[in-house]
Amino acid sequence: MEKHSTLPTGVKLLACVLILFGLFAFFGSLFMWGEGFLFSFPPGVDYSFPITDILVNAPACIITAIGLWQGKRYGYIAAQFTAGFFVYASVEIFVMVFQEPPPYSLEILIPQIMAMVMAYFLIFYLWRIQKLFQ
């Protein structure tokens, strides 16, 4: 309990945002971001991103959030994995979007920009305070 109360507010804020990211990744992908229910297999829809969000992104975000909130070492380690995943997935989506002619879809760019900002904090902010995670 002592460790939980001594964690910086920034760590708790990151954990809360990661819970939201995990829930959005799971439920957003389950309904394929407005394209239909995942398990109804709508024709012409790419399943790679929704499936990856459900199987990798959502669990990684939630595991990271729980570990960070509790001040556990696995939370810090999971944060580095999650940040790497955010960077990789965002770059892939940026490339995909920018291969198309303008106008670029803001509903896909804004979440990826947010993921890149979150990755920055997961890497650089947590690096500075990594000794707090035992």
Return the HEC string of 66-126.
Answer: HHHHHCCHHHHHHHHHHHHHHHHHHHHHHHHHHCCCCCCCHHHHHHHHHHHHHHHHHHHHH
- Would you kindly state where each structural domain of the chain is located, as residue ranges? 2-132
Average pLDDT over every residue of 75-83? 98
| pLDDT higher than threshold 80 for residue 34 | no
pTM listed for this prediction: 0.86
**What is the structure's pLDDT at 97?**
87
> pLDDT band at 1, cuts 50/70/90?
very low
